[in-house]
Structure 1
């Protein structure tokens, strides 16, 4: 892949991630051996050597204000979209700081970091909804902005602090955000 420019590589990352993860990452597909559980970062083999210098030419930035429980998309400092969110419970808070979008996944599958149990439901009614925007990973957990099944919409509408650190959005809102950001987009999480 040495002949690919950084710009082209960044544009190809989502497609390469699907290839690396197998058919399980495709909407409507399930697979026994290549199940995507808790969305994984793009494999190191296809990640640019220095993601902070990857050629993201966008002037967009995601800003999450935990106190207001609002997530906004800014372009050149101007708010172009703002939505209510549910955030991490005080015992499992949403991490604060400056991050970047690490990965984007359509129809992610959830696996509990506590029990290891995999939830087989994918799509809009799955625990992670039908969109995942990963922004931080630790040795144990992955944090992202994701959709919310209908049964849990009350958590977003009430701007609750109930998740295990992730950021929940309503389905149409997370889809709108997902479509307007790319891997490498800055994510700022403020108290």
Structure 2
């Protein structure tokens, strides 16, 4: 039998638990070590702004799915289906392997997500007041004049020595007031 990539359906939010359980069992059982070669949970880094604070978080890129590289024998399929939070394979009772094109696309996206800078889930608008949290002007307040979402930058007018001065700041250097 040859090794192929398969997709497991998991409970949303429990993908990493499924991966931990599989890897734990693989370490204990040498038969599984020969059959299950890789367990992948595609994730991406995001930054969320909640009440003016920026929070970094990793979230599942494909929520509810875990990708495994395995040689599927009937006992391996039975073992995988018996793991907590796994509802089965994509494809129903008979697991359907991913095509090579799909595998390369998923693995390419996983690599891209690892190398990519953080994605921002923050909406800044012109006219909003922000507090500078990083850099030489930490603690100053300013009003947003321009928003450049493609560059993840803001132009903020800050009052320094009684005069308004423009500053170009990154999204992570400010928080909403």
- Fold match by TM threshold 0.5: no
Identify the structure with the greater helix proportion. 2
| TM-score, normalised with respect to structure 2 | 0.24
Look at both structures and tell me which one has the larger radius of gyration over its CA atoms: 2
| TM-score, normalised with respect to structure 1 | 0.23
